[in-house]
Structures are given as C-alpha cells and as structure tokens.
Structure 1
Amino acid sequence: MNTESPVSRRAALCGIVVALAVPSGLVTACSSSGSSGTGSTPTQGGSTPTGSSGGTKLVALADVPEGGGAVVDGPGGTKIVVARLSATEVKAYDATCPHQGTTVGEPSGGTITCPSHGSQFGASDGKVKKGPATSGLRAVGVRVDGDQVVLT
C-alpha cells in the first residue's frame, strides 16, 4: 500500500507559479491565505504595451475583449483567466475556483463567475463578490508585451 500522499493540484500549481515568479519577486502569489504577510498584493498588468522583451505568451491581446476576458491554457496544463480592464491593462488569476476547484468562466461586466455554484469574483482584483467561495482568486503576474499578454 502506498502511504505517500499525492501532490494536490493546488500544491502543483503553486510550484509552477513560484518557479515562474521567483525572478520577478512574486513568490507571494501562492500564499494559501491569500496574503503575502506584508500587506501588499502582487501587481500585474501594464499601463502601456512594451517592446518584445520575452515572457511566456498566454494569449494575443486582440483575443481578450476589452471589458471582458478569456480563460487560457497556462504552464503545466493549468488554466488562467485573463481580464482586460482597458485597452492596455490586463489582470490574470488562477482560473480554479477556491470553493470546489471548478474552472471559472470568462470575465463579463467586471465579474468572473464560477459555473458550478455561482461564486463571483471581481475582474479587477479577484476578490469574492458573492459566495459560496470565501476566498478570492489567486493573482498571476502578467503584462502586455507588444500585442501579447505574457507571464511576468
């Protein structure tokens, strides 16, 4: 009988996010409490597009409607929800609903909704707007790089 406990989906995703985030100082993105312990939240998004400077491409900016968003494939088979707040500002979150692990839907009208139980999250901050979820979506660092949304 195997007595080792399997790695949870959340732990595996956090390992991926940490591996990608360490160079940019976003290690706190995987905090299970939703806080970094310093009172700050990792920032993401860009006020202006930048030149091509690298980063893992997630989605073409043109494929993310302004005021809406998209659920895209992330590294390691993860799902990431990208919200486009303005012409050049995007935010991204782990697309796994913290309530029971369902993949959330695309943002619409400033809200990201879980199709399973109706939890709603703010597209601009990932915070719970309506339960049953009791914690918000985990931020994923992204920026606009030319015509692409890329991981930071």
Structure 2
Amino acid sequence: MSGVARRTVVAAAGGAGLAMALTACGGGGDAGTGDDGAAEEGGTLARTGDIPVGGGKVLADKGMVITQPKAGEFKAFSSKCTHQGCAVSSVKDGAIVCPCHQSHFDISDGSVKSGPATAPLPPEPIQVVGDAISLG
C-alpha cells in the first residue's frame, strides 16, 4: 500500500471513530434527566436526604457546600473560605468549618460566626425539584 493510500485509510478510520464517539456522547431524548425531572444543565448535585437538617455536605468537586438550616430549607455557598481561600472541610454544630484557620460560617446565610475570616461565604444558586438538588 502506498503512503498516500495508507494515510487516507487511517484518516477515514479516525474520522469514523470520532463520529461514533460524538454520537455516543450526544444528548438525544431524555437520557440523563433522571426520574425526577431535575434540571439537565449541571445535573443533580445531591439528594435532599443526603443533607442533614441543621447540617450540610461539602461538595469539594463542585466547589460548594449545601446546607439545610431548617427542615426543607436548602442553601448553597462557595466552599472557598473568604480568609485565605482554603476549601472548607466540614459542617458541624450549625457551622461550615474551614480547617486552615478555623473560620466558622453560619449554615443559614454564610455569615461569619468566628474568624479570622471577615467576609461571608458567597451564595450559590440551587434549586430543589422533588428530592434532587441541582444548580439553579
């Protein structure tokens, strides 16, 4: 086989593989919406049952923390501490806790409960549909 013919065959095979990969990744139909109709954009971050009342859950891979200050009330905040940018690590006793310098933030509004941070955690938009929490 000549060099030109070989390149043509390799290019054609690569193009067919790329077309198959794009087809497999394409968003056709209702795939990925889940049974609860949660927003397709961003997908489900957590389930309401995953977030304890009076507590919360840090979603390190999403850069946010979701809290449930009162039953059925869900809030979300950036997980980046406003003191020196460390990632908060836990939610304990009604506070979002930064492990670097022990700043504590209120789970209901992100305000500073104790420093050294002086600015609140910025809120993140979320929506709750059924038992699914997704980006709002």
User: TM-score w.r.t. structure 1 length?
Assistant: 0.59
Query: What is the aligned-residue identity percentage?
Result: 38
| Equivalent position to 2:84, from 63, 87, 100 | 100
Larger relative helix fraction: 2
* Matched ranges for 1:59-138 at <5 A: 59-73=46-60, 77-138=61-122
Q: Which stretches in structure 1 are left out of the alignment for 5+ residues?
A: 1-50
Structure whose alpha-carbon radius of gyration is higher? 2
* Matched ranges for 1:33-52 at <5 A: 52=37
Query: 1:52 Cα deviation (Å)?
Result: 3.0
Q: Which has the higher contact order (CA 8 A, sep 6+)?
A: 1
Query: 1:53 Cα deviation (Å)?
Result: 5.2
What SS does the aligned partner of 2:91 have?
A: coil
Answering whether residue 136 of structure 2 is matched by residue 146 of structure 1, we say: no
RMSD: 1.7
State how far apart, in whole Å, the 1-side matches of 2:46 and 2:108 are.
18
Q: Which stretches in structure 2 are left out of the alignment for 5+ residues?
A: 1-35
Matched AA of 2:46: V
Classify 1:108/1:151 alpha carbon distance in 2 versus 1 (closer, same or farther; 3 Å): same
Instruction: State how many pairs are aligned.
Output: 99
Larger relative strand fraction: 2
- In the alignment, what sits opposite 2:11? none
User: TM-score w.r.t. structure 2 length?
Assistant: 0.66
